[in-house]
Amino acid sequence: MTPAGDRFSLDGQVAIVTGGGTGIGRATALVLAQYGADVVVAGRRPDPLEETVAAVEALGRKAIAAPLDVTEPEQCKRLVDVAVDTLGHVDVLVNNAGGGIMKPIMDWADGEWDQVMDVNLKSAWFTSRYAAQHMLSQGRGAIVNISSAAGLHPMAAAAIYGAAKAGLNNLTGSMAQAWTSRGIRVNCIACGAIRTPGLENVAETAGFDVEMLGQSNALGRLADPEEIAFGVLFFASEAASFCSGQTLYVGGGPK
C-alpha cells in the first residue's frame, strides 16, 4: 500500500492553472508547487502572473506565465502547447478562470450573457478538450473545475453566473463519463464565499458588505483561497484515484 503522505505527491507532474494570478488560482498554483508540481499559470494580466511565477520558483519548482485570454479557443490551444513545449507534458488542468456580475435580472445588458458564459464555461470547455488530447495520448491526467455555490442554488442577482457554473458542474460529469475509462479523472469544486479580489470587487460594485456573506454558513466566515486549493490538490493527486465526475461543495457547512 502506498504511504498516505505519498498519495498527495505531484512530483514530476506539470499543472496548468487558469486565472492563476490572484485568489484561488494563485493559491492553487502555490499548493500544487509545494507538493511537487511545475506550474503554468494563465490569465489576462501579466503582472499578477509574474508574481505567482516568482512565488512558485521560490518553492523550488519551475513556473511559466502565460498571459492570454482563455475565452478564445485558439489561445486555449496555445496554452496547452506552451506547457507541453516548455515542460514536456501536462498532467493536471485546473479550470479556475471565472468571474461574475451581480444585478437584477432585468438590468443585464444583452452582451453580458456572452461575457459571463465565455469566461466561466466556454473557457473550461476548450481548455479541457485541448489538454485532454495530450492527456489521452499519455494515458493519464486530472482535470479540476472551479465552480460555485451559485451553480447549485438559485441566486437571482447572479443569474447568468449561476447558470454558467451549473453548466460547468454538468460538463464535469460529461467529461468524466467520456474520459475516466481512458485515464483522465474530471472533478469539480463548488465554492462558497471566498475572500478573493474578485469577490471584493463584485461586493463593492453591488454595494454590499462582503463580510456578511460569511454569516450564511455554519463556520460564520469567508474561506481563504488556500482552503479551496487543498481541495484541488486532493482531486489532482492519487489521493482521489477512485474519484471522478464529482462536484464537491466547499461552503463552510449548512446553517
Strand partners, 149: none
35 is catalytic: no
CB count in 10 Å sphere of residue 46: 13
Sheet holding 63-67, edge to edge: 63-67, 38-43, 14-18, 92-95, 141-148, 184-191, 247-250
Integer Cα distance of 21 and 246 in angstroms: 26
Biggest alpha carbon distance in the chain? 57
Query: Which of 35, 130, 161, 249 is an active site residue?
Result: 161
Sequence-distant (≥ 6) Cβ neighbours of residue 202 within 8 angstroms: 100, 101, 102
User: Whose CA is closest to 90, among 28, 156, 158, 17?
Assistant: 17
**Relative orientation angle of helices 110-117 and 159-179, to the nearest 10 degrees:** 30
The angle that helices 73-87 and 123-138 make with each other, rounded to 10 degrees, is 30
- Could you count the other beta carbons within 10 Å of the beta carbon of residue 105? 10
Determine whether 62 is exposed, middle or buried from the number of CB atoms within 10 Å of its CB (0-12, 13-18, 19+): middle
Pairing of strands 38-43, 14-18: parallel
Q: Which positions are catalytic?
A: 161
